[in-house]
Amino acid sequence: MPSLRKDSDSSGSQPDEAPVTFRLPDGKRQFWIAAKGTEQSPAFSVGQGSTTLARWTPQERVCISPGMVNDNIAEYDDLLSFYICANGPLATGISSSTDTEDIGLLWTAVYGLWLHPHVRDKDLHAVVVNNTRLASYLRATGLGIISPHSPAKSTTTDVPANAVFWLHREAFWQGAGAPNTQTWVRSRPEATLLPGFAGTGSFPSQLGFTRGGNVCTVHPVRPPKPSPGTLLYSRYIVELGEQLRIYHIDADNATHFEHYARWQNSDRVNAGWRERGPDEHHRRYLAQQLADPHTMSCIYEWDGQLAGYMEIGYVMEDNVACFIGSNCNVVVGEFDQNTHFLVGEEKFRGGKRYQAANLSMKHYAFLRDSRTKQMIGEPQVGLSTLAIQERFIPMEKKKRFHLPHKTSMLIALQRDRFFQEGHFV
């Protein structure tokens, strides 16, 4: 996939540009990445404040096409060499231990590549780290895989320092190699409540059963939801310069409840959600959501200001499942999920904010369960938000179909396409 390029002069030199600044998922630490050199072969510096911490320097051009691609159509790109600039001990606070500062800095420098406008839309970067410890980190976490064209190879976690790695875009945005303190998913009950006893890291698949209303299905038992009020997800949105955070809504939190009730009672939101009513109605709805193991109500904010509401759930137990189970050309998997979304505050409306928050909701859903292969949606036909989603999410329109309360467009978003093509900046 070609990278985004700005116009340059005829010499091929790249004009000075403002660094791209970004915060890590904890929202506390800010870094920058800056490009220098020629437009065809830029070098990248990564730093914090006025200090340059690391660099990506272009070396020779190497093949970045898989081994089965014919030589006459194979693609080539710069091999980026990573090295740490600091002479003394690092003190960035990226990871939870001073012993892993170098690994945390490498992950942050990789993060910077996937945010910089010159290279963020590439499918992969070819890199060399020239350090056996860092090479083993890339291989063991899956953040990097050894290129099939690398002169140095390994089938174990012991990796030669000069091995050429491929850093795939989808691996990074799936969370590969992230420090425990810097994951986008901020709460996993199996890990945060009982550290050291997470087991496999995935809730085991066990037989469950739901019967009620339009639903009668066998499905896996769903993992427990974090307690109401828990921070679920956090990501810095570069194009807005603000931190987006998603919380499990807490109906006993006066601020959460006041915002939710006011949003649902507004004419604009009620036109789509049809949940207008007195406080008792809203409390009853949120209590039902909390009691239902398949769905979770969330509230999100921009830099501390509450902005809107989300629902995330598993499709098999959802009321919509019986309407899409036949003649819709979609097979619902046991761990497939769906989402619902509204912007509550008028000042936080707009295409970019909608895109960033809606994509983050889906990002969280995919990350919270690695077995989710697709997201299913059924937005009302004719809504302008559907056109906005099409611009930044590689979703597939399946067909129009009828629900008891609306005519919907059935959409499906595949996991692999989302992580390869989603707009994460």
> Topology of domain 189-421, per CATH?
Aminopeptidase (3.40.630)
Report the pLDDT value the prediction gives residue 5, as an integer from 0 to 100. 32
**Per-residue pLDDT tens for 209-233?**
788 777 778 878 898 999 999 999 9
346 is known as an active-site residue: no
**Which of the residue ranges 75-84, 197-206, 264-273, 332-341 would you say has the lowest mean pLDDT?**
197-206
Domain locations in the chain as residue ranges: 20-182, 189-421
Is the predicted pLDDT of residue 196 greater than 90, yes or no? no
> What percent of the chain lies above the pLDDT cut of 70?
94
pLDDT score of 198:
65
Average pLDDT over residues 372-401: 85
The active-site residue out of 378, 390, 396, 421 is: 378
Range in 85-89, 301-305, 413-417 the model is least confident about: 85-89
More confident site: 79 or 325: 79
Q: Would 20-182 and 189-421 be classified into the same CATH topology?
A: yes
Domain at 20-182, CATH from 1.20.120, 3.50.4, 3.40.630, 1.10.10: 3.40.630
**HEC string of the chain?**
CCCCCCCCCCCCECCCCCCEEEECCCCCCEEEEEEEEECCCEEEEEEECCEEEEEEEEEEEEECCCCCCCHHHCCEEEEEEEEECCCCCCCCCCCCCHHHHHHHHHHHHHHHHCCCCCCCCCCEEEEECCCHHHHHHHHHHCCCEECCCCCCCCCCCCCCCCCCEEEEHHHHHCCCCCCHHHCCECCCHHHHCCCCCCCCCCCCCCEEEEEECCEEEEEECCCCCCCCCCEEEEEEECCCCEEEEEEECCCCCHHHHHHHHHHHHCHHHHHHHCCCCCHHHHHHHHHHHHHCCCEEEEEEEECCEEEEEEEEEECCCCCCHHHHCCCCCCCCCCCCEEEEEEECCHHHCCHHHHHHHHHHHHHHHHHHCCCCCEEEECCECCCHHHHHHHHHCCCEEEEEEEECCEEEEEEEEEHHHHHHHCCCC
Q: Mean of the pLDDT values across residues 191-208?
A: 74
